Amino acid sequence: MLYHSLNQLKAKNLDPGKYADGQGLWLVKRTKHAGRWMLRLAVFGRRREMGLGRWPDVSIAEARERAAEARKTLRDGLDPIVEREKEKFGANRLTVAQAIEGCFEARKAELKQDGDAGRWMSPLNVHIVPKLGRLPIEQLDQHALKRVLEPIWHKKTEAAAKALNRMNLTLKHAAALGLDVDLQATMKARALLGKQRHQVKHIPSMPYTDVSAFYRSLVDMDGVGPLALRLLILTAARTSEIRLATIDEIDGDVWTIPAEHTKSGKEHRVPLVPEAVRVIRIARARSSGDHLFASARGKPLSDMGMAAVMKRRDLTARPHGFRATFRTWVEEQTDTPFEVKESALGHAVDSDVVRAYQRSDRFERRRTLMQAWERFVLSKAH
């Protein structure tokens, strides 16, 4: 028969302090009338303390019963503290939708503007959450993923691939929380879905021989869209960089695009040719907010702002295609070194080792190139 040193009356009369009941069970009294039960264990050779509840809410008999269950779990080769945490997670099961949201919040800081725009969440909200959102994340397997992605696997290849990749990150996030998830579920789903019938589709671009005439037509047009297109052509910048450009990013004939607006995640300086400076001056005068190209409400120009101008002209080319137009012109009409050509587009061209010693961003050489491009764009000979 086990001997216990405490009883209900004795526990009630004890002063604040720590009192052993036996077999590692202790009553820790903070005051005369309140305390907690604590069990001392040697878990895999390491001393651990496990709380068993408040006293007197948890009686001596219940505390002894909880202690006995913990010791049995330990004899079975398991850590009773870890097993209790797992039970807590099981009682409040995390759904697929909740796990996705948690993963997104954890990664949001590294997503640049994608975090604010919700682009990271978009393929998941469209293709995963509506059908699997309420499913406990621990029950998610390759068959469920295959079922929801199969209809779009070959039709919407990019969206399907992004959804599967982000579900892989979500499962890793859930595993980090201590949940029993299948970390290979996305890999297995990919094996079941097979190789995608994917054809790379390049954004339609305008032949560089047509750029001069098109630019002159933009000069005669009114509105924010044509103005933004003019700066896009003159700088070979990305459409998002143009749309999100703010007035304070411009300093004379230098436009410094902040890291959060670039695809590389690094600050990029753009040399502004005289025609670009004129466009910016006009845009500044018309802007109703902090953004250079703002809508009537002061918000940045929408994704369709520049594309609509080209669609109305029945053009197949799209705004982002002017980067390819510029790159083709540089390749065929100049003898510009590769590093300068790529740097003009904001691409990283040096290895980490080279960048450690090569501190120049080739700004002046890029300025010379953009001046030649300006002369071409403004020329009437094409």
**Is 283 a residue whose pLDDT tops 60?**
yes
**Domain annotation for the chain: domains and CATH numbers:** 8-90 (3.30.160.390), 96-193 (1.10.150.130), 208-378 (1.10.443.10)
Is residue 196 within 8 A of residue 155, CB to CB? The reply is: no
Phi, psi of 30 (to 5 degrees): -85, -40
Q: How far is CA 240 from the centre of its chain?
A: 17
Is residue 234 within 8 A of residue 227, CB to CB? The reply is: no
What integer pLDDT is reported at residue 1 of this predicted model?
Answer: 45
Is residue 218 within 8 A of residue 226, CB to CB? The reply is: yes
| Tokens at 130, concatenated | 């509506």
Q: How far is CA 78 from the centre of its chain?
A: 37
DSSP letter assigned to residue 347: -
What integer pLDDT is reported at residue 354 of this predicted model?
Answer: 42
**171, 176, 182, 187 alpha-carbon torsion, rounded to 10°:** 50
Q: How confident is the model at residue 95 (pLDDT cuts 50, 70, 90)?
A: very high
What integer pLDDT is reported at residue 353 of this predicted model?
Answer: 39
| Tokens at 98, concatenated | 């909740």
Rounded distance between C-alpha atoms, residue 324 and residue 205, angstroms: 6
- What's the whole-number mean pLDDT along residues 3-20? 86
- What's the whole-number mean pLDDT along residues 59-75? 91
Grouping H, G, I as helix, E, B as strand and the rest as coil, residue 239 is helix
What integer pLDDT is reported at residue 235 of this predicted model?
Answer: 95
The separation between the first and the last C-alpha atoms of the chain, rounded to the nearest angstrom, is 104
Greater confidence (294 vs 335) lies with 335
Is residue 100 within 8 A of residue 67, CB to CB? The reply is: no
What integer pLDDT is reported at residue 351 of this predicted model?
Answer: 47
- What's the whole-number mean pLDDT along residues 287-302? 81
Q: How confident is the model at residue 92 (pLDDT cuts 50, 70, 90)?
A: low
**Is 265 a residue whose pLDDT tops 90?**
no
DSSP letter assigned to residue 262: S
Among the residue ranges 25-39, 74-88, 238-252, the one predicted with the least confidence is 74-88
Rounded to 10°, the helix 157-176/142-149 angle is 150
Among the residue ranges 54-63, 262-271, 331-340, the one predicted with the least confidence is 262-271
DSSP letter assigned to residue 294: B
Place of tokens 């080209």: 310
Is residue 341 within 8 A of residue 331, CB to CB? The reply is: yes
| Tokens at 45, concatenated | 């050779």
Rounded distance between C-alpha atoms, residue 136 and residue 53, angstroms: 29
Q: How confident is the model at residue 201 (pLDDT cuts 50, 70, 90)?
A: low
- What's the whole-number mean pLDDT along residues 153-181? 92
Among the residue ranges 152-156, 186-190, 278-282, 356-360, the one predicted with the least confidence is 356-360
Grouping H, G, I as helix, E, B as strand and the rest as coil, residue 257 is strand
- What's the whole-number mean pLDDT along residues 212-227? 92
